[in-house]
Structure 1
Amino acid sequence: MATDSMGTGANASETRVAGLVLAAGGSRRLGRPKQLLPYGDGVLLDAVLATARSCGFAQLVLAVGGTHEEVLKTVNTAGCDVVVNADYGAGCSSSIAAALPALHPETDVVVLLLGDQPGVRPESVRRLLAGRGEAVIAVCRYSDGIGHPFAFARAALPALAGLHGDKAVWKLLDERAADVAEVPLPGPVPLDINTEADYESVLDALRRAI
């Protein structure tokens, strides 16, 4: 059987890529669960997961935490391996650490996606994976800077698992700069939502795209 670049087929020689959606935050700055903000025909996390499914990952892991019961009642998590991070208040690194054990043991590459960044497209993930070559870590180089999604080869997973704090992934990129490939993508870094103003900007972008 033929396989695709995400390793969804049976050929063991193909790279097996997993997607990890980080959606465990408590939305302290926003004051309401950002995962459940109305967006398009559903809620914000529905849109992010729809994009992730379109990427054709061999496995899709969803990390939830804050208000996870309401999130799981509302959001379509079909096709996801859901991990509940009880320690979500310790930052996104705690969600990564909680989710990594759920990965298939033969996972070659993990792509990190943010649950509050609906502007990322499947094509961005495809470009990231195509452009990473053999790099241990790959990031997207947009017109205005570095942004998600990020890709991590299996060799980097122990370092990911050992991170602490909310900005620890960025610190890891600095510490492992020699291992990081920057993959050019068009346009600015897609917006993520932390405030009501961010949400309005994201909705404006959606309206312009329709």
Structure 2
Amino acid sequence: MSVTGVVLAAGGSSRLGSPKQLLAYRGAPLLSATLDTARRSGLDRVLVALGGAADQVVAQVDLTGVEVVRNPDFGTGCGSSIRTAIAEVDPATDGIVLLLGDQPGVSTAAVRRLVDAAGRAPIGICRYDDGLGHPFWFARGMFAELAALHGDKAVWKLLHSGRYEVVEVPVAGPVPIDVDTLDDYRALLAADAGGDR
């Protein structure tokens, strides 16, 4: 299969007050961890959607092997980033893996397991020990739906709409921390220092 990774990293970091993509994590900007995971996961192509602090991100993050897609409407929610990125995905691609740029704890094993287990279904999602979480899988037949998303929780609404088969793929451990606030960032660093990887 031909699979494209789409990393959402266009947020304006309004709750944090500074670009979360550039927070220090393991000696590099936070976004670097997700991009490294995408690069190591055997994906055929990786797109990263940028918006807030895009120029700073381009200047400070290693984007080798990654294609940047700029989202001028990033302030309207992640639905706009998904729409912007989907427009750049080859229509012949079998599907996409959707990753969050501020969720560095997602493993390459989770990405590969998701593609292997859900790759023939319209939608796939990871089932962690404590709930559902990224990465998500969307087959080519879902691209038109993704291109019409609006708002911040639109992708979750699509997942829970009941209109499409959703394959849940078991992944050991808790849902990886998603950094939206300073407390989230502190929790991420604390978990990392404790060897919780």
Matched to 1:37, the amino acid is L
Report whether the alignment pairs 1:25 with 2:24: no
- Aligned residue number for residue 199 of structure 1: 185
Structure 1 Cα separation of the partners of residues 187 and 127 of structure 2: 21
Identity %: 52
Report whether the alignment pairs 1:94 with 2:72: no
Report whether the alignment pairs 1:65 with 2:51: yes
Report whether the alignment pairs 1:170 with 2:156: yes
1:206 to partner: Cα distance: 1.6
Out of 126, 133, 139, the residue aligned to residue 125 of structure 2 is 139
1:176 to partner: Cα distance: 3.6
Out of 85, 92, 116, the residue aligned to residue 130 of structure 1 is 116
Deviates most, 109-118 or 173-182: 173-182
Matched to 1:102, the amino acid is E
Structure 1 alignment gaps of length 5 or more: 1-14
Structure 2 Cα separation of the partners of residues 185 and 45 of structure 1: 22
- Aligned residue number for residue 12 of structure 1: none
What SS is found at the alignment partner of 2:121? Answer: coil
Matched to 2:157, the amino acid is K
| Residues 61, 29 of structure 1: alpha-carbon distance in 2 compared, 3 angstrom cutoff | same
**RMSD of equivalent CA atoms:** 1.2
1:177 to partner: Cα distance: 5.5
Q: Residue by residue, what CA displacement relative to the aligned partner does 1:117-161 show, whole Å, maximum 9, x if unpaired?
A: 000010000111121152100000111111000000000110011
Structure 2 alignment gaps of length 5 or more: none
1:104 to partner: Cα distance: 2.3
What TM-score does the superposition give when structure 1 sets the normalisation length? 0.90
Out of 152, 155, 170, the residue aligned to residue 138 of structure 2 is 152
Structure 1 Cα separation of the partners of residues 139 and 33 of structure 2: 26
Matched to 1:188, the amino acid is P
Q: Map of 1:38-117 to 2, 5 A cutoff?
A: 38-117=24-103
Q: Residue by residue, what CA displacement relative to the aligned partner does 1:19-43 show, whole Å, maximum 9, x if unpaired?
A: 0000000000111100000000211
Q: Residue by residue, what CA displacement relative to the aligned partner does 1:139-195 show, whole Å, maximum 9, x if unpaired?
A: 001111110000000001100110100000000011145411111111110010011
Contact 2:128-2:175 within 8 A present in 1 as well: yes
Contact 1:81-1:102 within 8 A present in 2 as well: no
Contact 1:90-1:166 within 8 A present in 2 as well: yes
